[in-house]
Each structure stands twice: as structure tokens, then as C-alpha cells.
Chains A and B, each alone.
Chain A
């Protein structure tokens, strides 16, 4: 799906300062070697299975299915992974790769804090130093995750520039990487940034769709009709889609954070409202003004609050292979509460965007149709913020 220069159609590429070029070339070379190394594969599989708790469950949500009265709904339970989200899949892969490359220090950006927690976790496990960049706004929204990262031994740097959210955390992590490269690996958390990151992160997350395929064939003896996942940068979505891309009968649906609606400026629905641009190392869709200034974006979900989208999603959109739909804050919060009450599962507010869209389309689907929703993370981290959204004066 990617050519050697890391292009997905017109998207992707390596738009980064010269200072970082040798670092990404070195990373690409190491990755190309280790991805075919049986010993690397064995070590990573062991980490994923024994440490992170894979394979994650594919759970038949019977009550939800009956309540919505349409297609059969399965939940891919990435929330049950160690550290509570899909982020650990990528982080264990990258940390192991960094270690093989002789790096002793990991830096990372984080939005909701899940990727930061996963990186801090892997660093603790592998005896590496760890620094996490997090927008100041997000350190407030996700205070508990800040404490978690510190508890795991990471240093958390609160980023005050720009909008003080995920985009600025990425910028600051890139700046930090240019000043210290020799011993440091930038553990990027999504399928974005310069080549080879979108490919590396996708490959490490592709375990999600590999498992879904095996599990659904075992349970239903056929492929699903739709796979639904939320999209910020898009790592859990590409992980959920990847092994179904060639299966044209499987609808792939990415749910973008519409915030207060795609007809407002308070949105983070990049594919629905943005246009092609070049930022953070890649060509892709970005929310921007007419002069190419990156727009401030908004979503209730810190993990989806990003003005760009991974280049492979941009490409899947261009060729019409995947659909990208907007889901508002209100719809996501309703879905958050719905899944808690209906199935006893509290999803991350990010994942609740995918649940919300499934709630829209499932009732109109025939009963023999199958929908898989990826629950990318668990929602404990969001409870206080959602309570406040509902007007309760709850603080952590």
C-alpha cells in the first residue's frame, strides 16, 4: 500500500527538517531489517501476549444488538489491554525496535494521555528513560494520566505553546527530537508524521484486524459487513481496517470528532472539513485557513483533538475505500453512557464516537449483518470530564 518513499497516493512523505533526516532513514533501515527478523517477531509476540494480554476479545454485544434491533454487533475489546487502550500495541513494538537500535531514551507526545502512559509503561519495563510532551490543556483534562506517567517514572512536560493540545505536543516532541537524536527514539503514537512512522505504527496496530478476522471467522464463519473505529490521527482505525482493505465487501468506517458540529469552527473532523496540506512531516488532510495556517480544533475528546489525519486514511478516503463520518460531542457522550448502561462497558470517549455511529446505522441493517466496533480504550479516564459535561461538579 505504500511505495518506498512512504507515499499513500499523493499523501505521506517526509516533510521534516534536515536535522532529522538521518534519524528517520536510520529508523527505516532498522525497521526493514527487524520486521523480517524471526527473533524480533518472537520477542514482540511474547510481549503482546504475556505482558499486554493479547489477543483482545471480540465480544458479541447481545443486549446492544437486541436493543438496537438491527445488525449483529461485536466489540473488539482493545480497552482490555494492559494500560487500557490499543496504544500499547504500537509502543511495545517501537520500544523494542528502539532498544535493538541501541537507543536508551524514549520521547513521545500524548493527547488523552493513553499513548503517554503506554510509552512510560514500556520505558519502565525495558529500563529506558522517558519524556512525554502533553498540551497544558490536556494535562488539566486528563490529570490522572499525568500522575500515572509520573508514577511510571516518566517526566511529563506541559506544552504551553499554540493551543496547548495534541498538535502542540507533537510540535514540541519534534523540536525536542532535533536537539537530542543520538540516544533518543521518538515513539510517535499514531499513524502520522514523516515516513516511516505511518507504516511502522500501522504494522504494529494491524494485529487488531488480524485478530478480528480470525475471531469473526471462528464465531460467524464469515467476514463482517462493517468495521467501525474512531479516527484522530487514526492508529486504532487503520489497525482495525488493515487486514480488511482487500475485502471489498467489508465497509470500513472511520468516525471523526465533529466537536460541536462540522458546520461550526469548534470541530476536529479533518477529512470532513479540512483540505490537503503539508504539516508534521506529512502531506494529508488538515484543518487550516485559506493561507495554510493550521486551525485550532476542538473536540470533547483529547485523543481526537488533532487538526490532521494519517496519510493512509487520506488515501483510503481519496479512493473511496473507507468512509469518514463526523460524530458530535453530544452523540459521543450519549454513546458513552449508552454502552455503560447497556453492556456494562465504559468506553473511552474517543471510542464512544465509533459506538455512536454504530447506534445510527445498526437499526437499519438486517439482522444477519455483522458490525464490528473497535473499543480502542477504556473510559475510566473520562468519567470526571463527562460528569462535568452533564453539569456535575466532579473533579479528580
Chain B
């Protein structure tokens, strides 16, 4: 088991997502530090992919900016090694299956262990395909985080039973992005999760405002926010970290 459980020991967890290299790795480092100083409990670091099929326009934009800036998986690994000196909260990588596969799954996952990366979120790796990487994740002590969607229905129990790290509950149909309203019956989903695992669960997709985050965190163990933070990077570029700090503070205060 990794350190991910520690992220859920300070009340409800606030989990920000930041794409590495958007617009450059220096800004990413400052953004991560600002988030941690202001109460982020776990950091989701995105490794950009050319064709992020689960993302809405905002995070697609972040992937594009990062890749256009020339960032690579090797540079991101070197960057995380540096970042780990200052950042002690659990961190996970969020990327797509091909980024891991193409790097060489064992090389990628063993490097995660060396970098004290606690988990891996791969939105295009459903339960049926997790054998692709799970044996290696197990060997190197990296949690392979599973996702549950509004359409999961009878699959929830099956997924929850084998969950590790935390469970990522997708709040709504569709891709990542901010939504004014979340209509899914998340309480019922969380109930089935609780009946099948002691692993904590956090809700993501569409969360952008403190009151929304509070509602989601009340239903579960935490809130995951991506697009709203990426929007700050899109708008403020290198100046974004201070805005991200303030944003994280307001979100963590709301859900605490």
C-alpha cells in the first residue's frame, strides 16, 4: 500500500490536477508548491498526451501547450525528482495508457517508485484491461487508481472490491470540464463503494466552485479539481501559481 491514505487523514481531501509543462515545468513546480502550501492533500500530475480522449477542451489545451513547449516524459521524471525535495504530500501521475506502454511499462512504473509517485491514473485503462500494468504496479508498490462512472451500474462493486489507493468517482457523463450542475445520484454510487471497500473515494469532473466542492466532499472523502485550475494557467500563464494558491485555499476551506 502506498502513502495515498495519508492524503485522507486531514479531513476531506482536496486533490488538484496540474498538467506538467503547462506552460513550462518551472511554472508547474511553483503551482504545485502553491497548492500544497494552501492545503492540497494529494497532487495529480498530468503527463501530457497528444490525443487525450477523456478530456474536455480546457485540459486538451493544457496538453497541447505542454507538448508544444517540448516537454517529455524523461524531463517530467527529472522534474519530479527535484520537486520531491520540497513536496511531501502524496502525488500520482495521470496520463494515458500509451504514454506508459510506449516508455516501457516496467521502466515507467519502477521510475514511479524511485520518484515516490504513489499512484497511476489512466482513464483509458478500464477494469477489464488493468492486467496490462497491474502486476508491475503491485511489484513496485504503485497504486493503480480505478475510476467509477455514472454509467458503471452493476460494475461498481466489482471495481470497488479490487480498488487501491483511492477510487476516482466520475461525477457526470462526458469529458472533463466545468459544469454548472451535477445531476448524477452520487450518494447511491458511494454507498455501493462503501459496502465493498475501505479504500477512500473522491469525486471529480465538473467541480469548479467551493460550494460545489463541499457538496461533493460531503458525499465522499474528497474533491478532485482539474479544469478550473488549468483555466487559471491558461489565463495567467507564469503568474498562475499565486492564483492557484488562493483558489486551493478557498476550496480546501470549503470542504474541510
Contacts and interface: CB of A to CB of B under 8 A. Distances in A.
B232 to A, nearest CB: 22
B174 A16 contact: no
A291 interface: yes
A278 B97 contact: yes
A22 interface: yes
Most buried by A among B101, B148, B170: B101
B128 A277 contact: no
Contact of A162 (B51, B103, B132, B148): B51
B182 to A, nearest CB: 14
A171 B129 CA distance: 20
Nearest to B52: A171
A22 B124 contact: no
B175 to A, nearest CB: 5
B10 interface: no
B127 A179 contact: no
A18 B175 contact: no
B73 A291 contact: yes
Interface in A258-290: 275-281, 286, 288, 290
Given A178-B174, A277-B102, A291-B103, A15 B127 contact: no
A166 to B, nearest CB: 12
- Chain A interface, >50% SS class: mixed
Interface string A291-332: 111100000000000000000000000000000000000000
Interface string B49-85: 1110110110010000001000011100000000000
Interface string B138-174: 0000000011111111010001000000000010011
Contacts of B74: 291
Interface in A1-50: 5, 13-23
B99 A15 contact: no
B173 A179 contact: yes
Contact of B124 (A15, A179, A288): A15
B98 interface: yes
Contacts of A5: 128
B126 A175 contact: no
A294 B101 CA distance: 13
A250 interface: no
A279 B51 contact: yes
A179 B205 CA distance: 12
Interface in B220-249: none
Contacts of A16: 124, 126
Interface string A179-197: 1110000000000000000
B54 A17 contact: yes
Given A5-B128, A275-B102, A291-B73, 11 more contacts: A15-B129, A18-B146, A18-B152, A21-B152, A162-B50, A168-B51, A171-B51, A175-B174, A278-B98, A290-B102, A291-B102
Interface of B: 49-51, 53-54, 56-57, 60, 67, 72-74, 96-103, 123-129, 132, 146-153, 155, 159, 170, 173-175
Interface of A: 5, 13-23, 161-162, 167-168, 171, 174-175, 178-181, 275-281, 286, 288, 290-294
Q: Which 6 A-B pairs have the closest CB atoms?
A: A292-B102, A179-B174, A19-B149, A293-B50, A292-B98, A278-B97
13 contacts: A16-B124, A17-B54, A18-B146, A162-B51, A167-B51, A178-B54, A181-B151, A276-B101, A278-B97, A278-B98, A291-B102, A292-B98, A293-B99
